[in-house]
Chain A
Amino acid sequence: MLFPTFDFAIFFAVAFTVNWLLNPYPTPWKISMTVMSYVFYGWVGWSYCLLLVATSATAHVGAVAITACRTERARRRALIGACAVLLGLLGWFKYYGFVSVNVDNLTHALGLGRAVPLVQVGLPIAISFFTFMAISYVVDVYRRQLEPARPIDVALYLSFFPHLLAGPIVRGHELLPQLRHRRDAYAIDYSRALWLILAGLFKKVVISSYVSTAIVTPVFTAPAQHSAPEALFGAWGYAVQIYCDFSGYTDIAIGLALLLGVRFPINFDAPYTARNLQEFWRRWHMTLSRWLRDYLYIPLGGNSGSEAKTVRNVLITMVLGGLWHGAAWTFVCWGAWHGIGQGVGHLRRRRRVARGLEPVASGPVRIWVQRVATFQFVCLGWVFFNASGMSNAFAVLARLFDGWGRPSPLVTPVLVLVVAGTIASQFVPTLQVARLQAAFSRQRAAVQVGLLSVALLGITTFGPPGVAPFIYYRF
């Protein structure tokens, strides 16, 4: 079920009412919210609900088994077993087709014949998100950071519909305690929730859709047809599109959860204001960055070893992070691009510190140069992220160099304004936004109703007819 649809509006009205009516009764509340989350997930097809059940069962059994083990060795085995099942499910559904084609072509090229059966496996929506949440839960139990939860708690933790399809990737210690305690039915932070939902809808329905149609899709569909300025705005436009699409989804998810009395971690914090890649990843898809840091980068050794090992760990983490997004060489390249960039940045910072300088040079001009350079580096990576294949990515990049002097009818003043305005909006202090929310909450009910309906009308009027699925639904 997509958030910006009529179906979801009706679904949420029912879910909201059930949520608060059953709020005083913990077990019925958990069961009802789990059932509603499965309805939400299975809206377009029930078959994949079985996968969600299997993932929840594996996480629960794994956590219980780890706790029941008496020796560290047995605990470790139980952890490896649970993670193997979870990663096995993810690998089968998400990566089997990609791996089998590449292995098959390799064995064929080596004269070893066709070695791997080719099977196209349907990709269940959101599998990457709930698998990562399940792994984090099992690992946290193994690390004794979390007690095993009841089966219904685990089921609801993994399936809770506001985060189910595209995150945020909420950790057990963030969500499970909230599921155990009653939420305050008389103190809903509704002005912030409604602001987030409307802002998310605006970003997704109006901005992301417009930029996609106006420049990104034409440029990436037929790069040969376009000029260098169009290719440039295609890359910048995609930076705006994916930010508005994904952060829009996250805003809506956080807002919906707030209306249900549940708080999620933030997932975006003005990422295009970052001065380097390390900062970018602290601001972009923050919950994935945290996950990769805590469950991959640090277990690999983090930055505790030599420089070479640190760079290696960064590279492995980012390449696997890229592969998490999709089974394609373009995502591997995107991850490697960021890994190399971060590795180089890490070495530079170490060199500066060794020379007695601050890790990152500061000063008003330098800060802006760093911001612009980081943004351009990120945009180059987005070309691979959005390309349909490696040749498509290189075709877009080639346009940046050889397409000058040609007419650029797609680079219109409105497009320039939208792209620049969206990036500039990330520099607006969050305090100003909070003040607007506070002002809204002080209005009379009738005024609030009027403002909300006008905002909805604006979004639906300026949005395109029909809304594309969120980009991150694919992952």
Chain B
Amino acid sequence: MVQQLESPAGTAENEPRGRAPWVSVLATCVSAFALWLVLFAPTLEHNALVSPVGTRRTVALDVLRPLAAASRVLQISRIVSETDALTGRTGNRLGDGSAPVRGPVRHPRRSPAGSTPTATTPPSIAHPTAADKLRVLIVGDSLGIDVGGPLQNDLTDTGVVSASLDGRESTGLTRPDYFDWPAELEADLQTFDPQVVVVMIGANDAQDFPGPPDVPFGTARWNAMYASRVASFMEIAQSGGARVVWVGMPAMANPTLSAAMTVIDSIDRQQAAARNPPVAYLSTTTLLGTARGGYSAFITDQAGQVVNVRTPDGTHLTAAGGEVVAQAVIGYMRSTWHVALP
């Protein structure tokens, strides 16, 4: 009945292989896993450090700290660090098993940073041409990627824009120990020398600031700290003279997450208005939701067609949803900044 399972008859299945009792197999696997744990402990310790504050993080750190210390004392951890160095990695190994990272498509810098104007006098970007393209940098978390992909594509399609996307899933401004967005943005500015920066960050930020002492989300202290980080990020984005569009978070299907996004949007909006020159804040709550800003998976476009704009997880955007926001950003650039885009 089962002779044809697992392997085609007459090939690998006929090769004699050793078989073992389950206790031996368990002992072999557990020993190998334990050895790997010691070898890889410093990286695992780092991953635990940058994970969300909570019991899971505490337990993981309690287990991994002595192992990581042993690994360092015995110089075992050098195997991994040397490999990272050999393969050109930074050693900033993020992730908890659910956080892929999408890097930017980098392009050579177009002009020296020294020639950029001051922040208070944004340069004219009204008439980009194929020979002198408008340089746009898009940065964001996973929702930023949902918008950034269509936006990058649509802008590039005009033939007069060079658009770059630096999207990092599962990132935000709350946890620079997990991913340092300010440092990343500074590097992006150096690389791309953008004239316009589009930011969409915040979906992962409704979490405590790690301490000690931890600063719980939703408290006045948290709001003040987050406002400071947003302001600092906007300042970096504007530091090269670029105009900045900050795209707000839409409502979410989960009411708790949606309420948290309202807090984050409010802080972003206030900080955008407080900048000089102001950062353009583009709200997406009605764009992607109901007329009152509530969550909706479907919207009706100008042609009267129903469009599904949200993925079934109730958080992310479909390609059509990303396109809606992308067109809103392009529309803003055309109408408010009078950028002549074909």
Interface residues of A, Cβ cutoff 8 Å to B: 2, 4-7, 9, 13, 16-17, 20, 97, 101, 104-105, 108, 114, 118, 120-123, 173-174, 177-178, 185-192, 194, 209, 212-213, 217-218, 221-225, 254, 258-259, 263-266, 269, 388-389, 392, 395, 410, 429-431, 433-435, 437-438, 441-442, 445, 448-450, 452-453, 456-457, 460-462, 464-469
Complex CA distance for A460 and B33, rounded to whole angstroms? 12
CB pair B35 A185 closer than 8 Å: no
CB pair A449 B5 closer than 8 Å: no
User: Which A-chain residue is minimally distant from B295 (CB atoms)?
Assistant: A120
Chain B residues closer than 8 Å to A223, beta-carbon distance: 153
Question: Is B246 an interface residue, CB under 8 A from the partner?
Answer: no
Quick one: given A222-B163, A269-B8, A445-B28, are A108 and B304 in contact (CB under 8 Å)?
Answer: yes
Complex CA distance for A223 and B156, rounded to whole angstroms? 9
Q: Which stretch, B12-20, B114-122, B181-189, B231-239, touches the partner chain A?
A: B12-20
CB pair B17 A209 closer than 8 Å: no
Please tell me which one of the listed residues B8, B29, B39, B297 contacts residue A430 in the complex, with CB atoms under 8 A apart: B8
Please tell me which one of the listed residues A194, A221, A435 contacts residue B149 in the complex, with CB atoms under 8 A apart: A221
Complex CA distance for A123 and B79, rounded to whole angstroms? 42
Question: What distance in Å separates the Cβ of B154 from its nearest Cβ neighbour in chain A?
Answer: 8
Please tell me which one of the listed residues B1, B8, B12, B25 contacts residue A177 in the complex, with CB atoms under 8 A apart: B1
Chain A residues closer than 8 Å to B22, beta-carbon distance: 16, 20, 185-186, 188
Complex CA distance for A457 and B39, rounded to whole angstroms? 7
Chain A residues closer than 8 Å to B26, beta-carbon distance: 13, 16-17, 20
Please tell me which one of the listed residues B5, B33, B98, B313 contacts residue A2 in the complex, with CB atoms under 8 A apart: B98
Question: What distance in Å separates the Cβ of A290 from its nearest Cβ neighbour in chain B?
Answer: 11
Quick one: given A6-B97, A213-B103, A466-B170, are A438 and B15 in contact (CB under 8 Å)?
Answer: yes
CB pair B15 A186 closer than 8 Å: no
Please tell me which one of the listed residues B18, B100, B313 contacts residue A191 in the complex, with CB atoms under 8 A apart: B18
CB pair B101 A449 closer than 8 Å: no
CB pair B84 A461 closer than 8 Å: yes
User: Which B-chain residue is minimally distant from A212 (CB atoms)?
Assistant: B100
CB pair A263 B2 closer than 8 Å: yes
Please tell me which one of the listed residues A97, A178, A218, A469 contacts residue B308 in the complex, with CB atoms under 8 A apart: A97
Interface residues of B, Cβ cutoff 8 Å to A: 1-2, 4-8, 11-33, 35-36, 39-40, 43-44, 47, 79-80, 83-84, 87, 92-103, 105, 145, 148-149, 152-153, 156-157, 163, 165, 170, 253, 297-298, 304-308, 310, 312-314, 318-320
Question: What distance in Å separates the Cβ of A43 from its nearest Cβ neighbour in chain B?
Answer: 12
CB pair A466 B100 closer than 8 Å: yes
Question: What distance in Å separates the Cβ of A465 from its nearest Cβ neighbour in chain B?
Answer: 4
Please tell me which one of the listed residues B43, B99, B298, B318 contacts residue A118 in the complex, with CB atoms under 8 A apart: B298
8 A-B pairs with C-beta separation under 8 A:
A209-B100, A213-B102, A221-B102, A222-B105, A225-B156, A438-B15, A445-B24, A465-B47
18 further A-B contacts with Cβ under 8 Å, apart from A222-B163, A431-B15, are: A9-B33, A101-B308, A120-B297, A177-B1, A186-B22, A190-B28, A222-B156, A265-B6, A441-B20, A442-B18, A452-B32, A453-B35, A460-B36, A461-B40, A465-B94, A466-B95, A466-B99, A467-B97
Complex CA distance for A213 and B170, rounded to whole angstroms? 16
CB pair B298 A120 closer than 8 Å: yes
Chain B residues closer than 8 Å to A178, beta-carbon distance: 2
Of all A-B residue pairs in the complex, the 4 with the closest CB atoms, nearest first, are A466-B95, A441-B18, A388-B319, A120-B297
Tell me what chain A mostly uses at the interface: helix, strand, loop, or mixed: helix
Chain A residues closer than 8 Å to B304, beta-carbon distance: 108
Complex CA distance for A194 and B33, rounded to whole angstroms? 12
Question: What distance in Å separates the Cβ of B250 from its nearest Cβ neighbour in chain A?
Answer: 14
Complex CA distance for A469 and B313, rounded to whole angstroms? 14
CB pair B100 A188 closer than 8 Å: no
CB pair B7 A266 closer than 8 Å: yes
Quick one: given A225-B152, A449-B35, A453-B35, are A118 and B297 in contact (CB under 8 Å)?
Answer: yes
Please tell me which one of the listed residues B18, B27, B148, B156 contacts residue A224 in the complex, with CB atoms under 8 A apart: B156
Chain B residues closer than 8 Å to A16, beta-carbon distance: 22, 26, 29
Question: What distance in Å separates the Cβ of B105 from its nearest Cβ neighbour in chain A?
Answer: 5
Complex CA distance for A105 and B35, rounded to whole angstroms? 59
Chain A residues closer than 8 Å to B297, beta-carbon distance: 97, 118, 120
Complex CA distance for A467 and B100, rounded to whole angstroms? 6
Complex CA distance for A389 and B324, rounded to whole angstroms? 14
Complex CA distance for A386 and B33, rounded to whole angstroms? 35
Complex CA distance for A265 and B12, rounded to whole angstroms? 14
Chain A residues closer than 8 Å to B157, beta-carbon distance: 224
CB pair A434 B306 closer than 8 Å: no
Chain B residues closer than 8 Å to A177, beta-carbon distance: 1-2
CB pair B97 A457 closer than 8 Å: no
Question: What distance in Å separates the Cβ of B302 from its nearest Cβ neighbour in chain A?
Answer: 13
User: Which A-chain residue is minimally distant from B7 (CB atoms)?
Assistant: A266
User: Which A-chain residue is minimally distant from B15 (CB atoms)?
Assistant: A434
Please tell me which one of the listed residues A173, A194, A218, A389 contacts residue B1 in the complex, with CB atoms under 8 A apart: A173
Question: What distance in Å separates the Cβ of A450 from its nearest Cβ neighbour in chain B?
Answer: 7
CB pair B99 A465 closer than 8 Å: yes
Chain B residues closer than 8 Å to A453, beta-carbon distance: 32-33, 35-36, 39
User: Which A-chain residue is minimally distant from B162 (CB atoms)?
Assistant: A225
Chain A residues closer than 8 Å to B319, beta-carbon distance: 388-389, 392
Question: What distance in Å separates the Cβ of B148 from its nearest Cβ neighbour in chain A?
Answer: 8
Chain B residues closer than 8 Å to A105, beta-carbon distance: 305-306
Please tell me which one of the listed residues B23, B31, B84, B307 contacts residue A449 in the complex, with CB atoms under 8 A apart: B31
User: Which B-chain residue is minimally distant from A177 (CB atoms)?
Assistant: B1
User: Which A-chain residue is minimally distant from B4 (CB atoms)?
Assistant: A265
Max chain B C-beta neighbours (<10 A), residue from A16, A105, A123, A221: A221
CB pair A188 B105 closer than 8 Å: no
Chain B residues closer than 8 Å to A6, beta-carbon distance: 44, 97
CB pair B6 A264 closer than 8 Å: yes
Chain B residues closer than 8 Å to A264, beta-carbon distance: 5-6
Chain A residues closer than 8 Å to B15, beta-carbon distance: 431, 434-435, 437-438
Please tell me which one of the listed residues B2, B13, B149 contacts residue A174 in the complex, with CB atoms under 8 A apart: B2
Question: What distance in Å separates the Cβ of A17 from its nearest Cβ neighbour in chain B?
Answer: 7
Complex CA distance for A83 and B24, rounded to whole angstroms? 45
CB pair A217 B102 closer than 8 Å: yes
Complex CA distance for A254 and B94, rounded to whole angstroms? 29
Chain A residues closer than 8 Å to B305, beta-carbon distance: 105, 108
Question: What distance in Å separates the Cβ of A432 from its nearest Cβ neighbour in chain B?
Answer: 9
User: Which A-chain residue is minimally distant from B318 (CB atoms)?
Assistant: A388
Chain A residues closer than 8 Å to B307, beta-carbon distance: 101
User: Which A-chain residue is minimally distant from B31 (CB atoms)?
Assistant: A449
Chain A residues closer than 8 Å to B318, beta-carbon distance: 388
User: Which B-chain residue is minimally distant from A437 (CB atoms)?
Assistant: B17
CB pair A188 B25 closer than 8 Å: yes
CB pair A466 B312 closer than 8 Å: no
CB pair A395 B32 closer than 8 Å: no
Chain B residues closer than 8 Å to A97, beta-carbon distance: 297, 308, 312
Question: What distance in Å separates the Cβ of B37 from its nearest Cβ neighbour in chain A?
Answer: 9
Complex CA distance for A137 and B312, rounded to whole angstroms? 29
CB pair B2 A2 closer than 8 Å: no
